[in-house]
Amino acid sequence: MSIAMKRVKIAPKGMGLNDFVAFEEGFFAAEGLDVELDWKTFKGTQSSWRHLNYLERPQDQPYAEGAEVIQGACAWGSVCNAGAGMGRFVPDAYGVSPWAIFVRPDSKIRRPEELRDVPVAVGMRAGSHFNVPYRLEKFMPLANIKTVNVGGFGARLKALLDGEVEAASLLPPQIAMAEQLGLRKVIEDTFHTLWWVPETASPEIVGGYLRALDRAEKAMDADPAKYLPLWRNSVPEEFAQQSWDFSKFGRGERFVYKTLPQEEYDEIIAQVQRWGLDDYMKDKSFDKLTLSAAE
């Protein structure tokens, strides 16, 4: 007897390969999900957001339009987005993604403390933004940490290469791209990501989605080289014609099938409050901002 497939639209984050591996290997289908990849939203998150306000960014549009899309973002962003009335975040799993700030090879900046009062290109209220105060605060006061809203993946890297900014906050795969382009890394670390879903999302569908990502994680652990060419899906259009050595791109974001601890949520709220980036949050209650697949 055939199983009735559940239709779901997914906008990949692009920081990792799990969505693409799960799609290519049939792991979504094995969980009973008929997945449509939302390339419009995904490519929008790679583009410039220079003139867009919060709630108008490409990743915000599905909520403005009432579309049912599963997305992901940095842990701070997913929590803040849910608090601002855009869906719920899923506490059942999290990702661990690399992050780094790069400068051009001719830049005088070599150490994190030399970024004092230097505007760093970020995507407003997303992982590239929140990471800057989170990692630079140990080197300088918050008042001396400067950011400039450039937008998504391709826009930040292009702005750095074109000399529009002195430094840029990058995530996978731009980190690997920057390295192959000869740009210089000033600081690097990792951060947590969370999945972000509509309020009306089905816990059953969310659970199937997470299980498929976990299957993809195990497949990549078993044979990482097999899947590295899938990074071609995450290369922004303006860089698609260049020759990239995907074998050197690394794994990017890793999927961790463990519940986000309550204390980490409390720390996230404390951090965004200290940075003044909680101003759109209407609610900060863990129970009201979460949608668990276990429901």
What is the dihedral angle through the alpha carbons of 135, 41, 172, 70, rounded to the nearest 10 degrees? 80
**What is the per-residue pLDDT for 3?**
62
DSSP 199-232: TT--HHHHHHHHHHHHHHHHHHHH-HHHHGGGGG
pLDDT value of position 65: 83
pLDDT of residue 147: 97
pLDDT band at 295 (very low <50, low <70, confident <90, very high): low
Looking at the fold, whether 110 and 65 belong to one and the same domain comes out as: no
On whether both 62 and 21 belong to a single domain, the answer is: yes
Please check the confidence at residue 88 and state whether its pLDDT lies above 50.
yes
Residue 115 shares a structural domain with residue 171: yes
Select from 169, 191, 213 the last residue of a domain: 191
Q: Which three-class secondary structure string do you get for 259-283?
A: CCCHHHHHHHHHHHHHHCCCCCCCC
Inside any domain, residue 294 = no
Q: Are residues 201 and 167 in the same domain?
A: no
**Does 216 lie in the same domain as 199?**
yes
For residue 1, is pLDDT > 50?
no
Last residue of a domain, one of 191, 220, 255: 191
Shared domain check, 283 and 254: yes
Q: What is the mean pLDDT of residues 235-253?
A: 93
d(CA 170, CA 132): 10
- 103: tokens are 């400068």
Domain CATH code at residue 180: 3.40.190.10
Q: What is the pLDDT of residues 129-185, one digit of tens each?
A: 999 999 999 999 999 999 999 988 889 999 999 999 999 999 999 999 999 999 999
Number of domains in the chain: 2
Q: Quick check: 91 and 207 in contact, CB under 8 A?
A: no
Q: Which pLDDT value is given to residue 43? A: 87
Indicate the pairing of strand 88-103 with strand 184-197: antiparallel
Residue 1 placed within a domain: no
235's enclosing H/E stretch is none
Please, which pLDDT band fits residue 290 given cuts at 50, 70 and 90?
very high
pLDDT of residue 49: 85
Phi, psi at residue 166, to the nearest 5°? -85, -30
Provide the phi-psi class of 220: left if phi over 0, else alpha when psi is between -120 and 50, else beta. Answer: alpha
In a domain, 21, yes or no: yes
Q: Which residue range forms the structural domain that includes residue 113?
A: 98-191
Per-residue pLDDT reduced to its tens digit, 128-145 = 999 999 999 999 999 999
Residues 215 and 81 in one domain: yes
Q: Mean pLDDT over residues 253-265, rounded?
A: 96
Q: 3-state class of 173 per DSSP?
A: coil
Q: What distance in Å separates the CA atoms of residue 41 and residue 149, rounded to the nearest whole number?
A: 18
Across all residues in the chain, what is the average pLDDT? 94
Q: What's the CA gap between 112 and 135, in Å, rounded?
A: 9
pLDDT of 280 above 70: yes
Q: How many CB atoms lie within 10 A of CB 188?
A: 13
Same domain for 91 and 128? Answer: no
167, 191, 215: which is the final residue of a domain?
Answer: 191
Please give the average per-residue pLDDT across 67-76, as a whole number: 93
Residue 295 lies in a domain: no
Contact 223, 24 (CB under 8 A): no
175 plus 130 within the same structural domain: yes
